[in-house]
Amino acid sequence: MDTKALSLLVKLNAQAPVTQAESGQGIELELEYVNLLPEYILGYFGTISSSFKQPETKIFDADWFKIPQLHLQSATATFSVINALGVDLKFQLDSLLGKNNFSQSALLDAPALKSLNISRAQQYNNRITPSIYTFSLNSQNSTIHRFLSLIPNALYASGNFKLNPFGNTSGYNDFLFFNQGLQIKAHLDIPLAYTHDYIQLEKTFTLTSEALNSLKIVTSAVVNFETENTFPFSVQAQALIPNSQGFYGDSIFNKGPVDLAIHNPTSSASNLQRMSFPLSSTQIQTLIREKKLHFRIKIYGLTPQSPIALFENQKLNFNLYLQTETHAEIQ
């Protein structure tokens, strides 16, 4: 370990006239370190209280995946707070708000979050033994199942924390190693029995130059769409061609969404369905000009809604391929 030591010697000018120093007078020295990155700090860090308000924390950013709301029957979330800091910490989470892609929001009501006492890590021969604080939220002690039903993709948190809430219990032996801090791990246990309004999947594909060159010599084309479904869901699909303003004005699938693979929940057999849609010459030219194709798929639950049980061997497959005819003259 590299230790920096600094020694200062202050002398009075022997040629200066006699100066009387009054009580409380002395020399004030300001010392500033620039670009100093400590690997290790040891001492007493004091008792510090502070509030925090996290404006937004993105959990995931997936605009292609949208669920208005799940209806979970139950859920359990187990959290582990791993503290590699040599200080005691106390957290109080006053508010935890989740928002989803549809601007819906929900508060997580959990008394366990109102007081989290995190013990300090221990140090032996410059080796850290982190402390681990574990707690669980379930449908009985919180609103975790309603919170997760929202499918939040952004969190907003506010509260306060206190450093060394019990004072100098370490005897001036608080410590901090560089690149060490707090970690929070979560394990979610959600039974696969739930209801949902619908799940929406969206994706815009940019056509490659090779595909565009192929379309330029096409005289006619047919889009073949194939689905295989063993889930108790019904599926609705739409293929759209965006215009120059980004609006999806032209639908390939018969000018609107089509129903695909409506599964019979009383049958274990898969539902295989094939559909074909001819492309007009105008649509082909629009594809060549805009170079993009947008897909929107909605997966609906049972009507009337009842809890859906999912199994490992169930699947939902989509296949899309283009059948074309070209005209060529050989001289």
Query: Per the structure, how many domains does the chain have?
Result: 2
Q: Quick check: helix, strand or coil at residue 210?
A: helix
Residue that terminates a domain, selected from 191, 208, 237: 191
Q: Does pTM surpass 0.75?
A: no
Residue that terminates a domain, selected from 144, 163, 191: 191
183 and 76 together in one domain: yes
DSSP-assigned letter for residue 179: T
Residue that terminates a domain, selected from 191, 210, 242: 191
Is residue 26 in some structural domain?
Answer: no
158: pLDDT strictly greater than 90: yes
Q: Give the range of the structural domain holding residue 121, as residue numbers without chain letter.
A: 49-191
303 and 320 together in one domain: yes
pLDDT tens digits for range 174-186 = 999 988 899 989 8
HSE toward the beta carbon, residue 54, CA cutoff 13 A: 16
55 and 184 together in one domain: yes
230 and 251 together in one domain: yes
Cα 33 from Cα 83, distance rounded (Å): 28
238 and 290 together in one domain: yes
57 and 96 together in one domain: yes
141 and 250 together in one domain: no
Is residue 16 in some structural domain?
Answer: no
pLDDT tens digits for range 28-71 = 778 787 877 788 889 999 999 999 888 788 776 656 666 666 77
CA distances from 166 to 44, 117, 162, 171 (A): 12, 11, 9, 12
Quick check: 42 and 183 in contact, CB under 8 A? no
- The secondary structure element, H or E, covering residue 277 is strand 271-279
With tokens 């989740």, the residue in question is: 98
Write down the pLDDT at residue 234.
Answer: 76
Helices (H), the chain: 144-149, 209-215, 281-290
Write down the pLDDT at residue 130.
Answer: 96
65 and 106 together in one domain: yes
263 and 218 together in one domain: yes
pLDDT tens digits for range 67-88 = 666 777 788 999 999 999 999 9
CATH number at residue 222: 2.60.120.260
| Bridge partners (DSSP) listed for residue 293 | 205
115 and 100 together in one domain: yes
Question: Tokens in use for 250?
Answer: 């032209």
211 and 314 together in one domain: yes
Task: Please state, rounded to an integer, the average pLDDT across all residues of the chain.
Answer: 80
Q: What is the CA radius of gyration of the chain?
A: 32
Cα 126 from Cα 4, distance rounded (Å): 18
Cα angle, residue 247 at apex, residues 242 and 251 outer, rounded to 5°: 55
120 and 145 together in one domain: yes
Question: Tokens in use for 149?
Answer: 């039903």
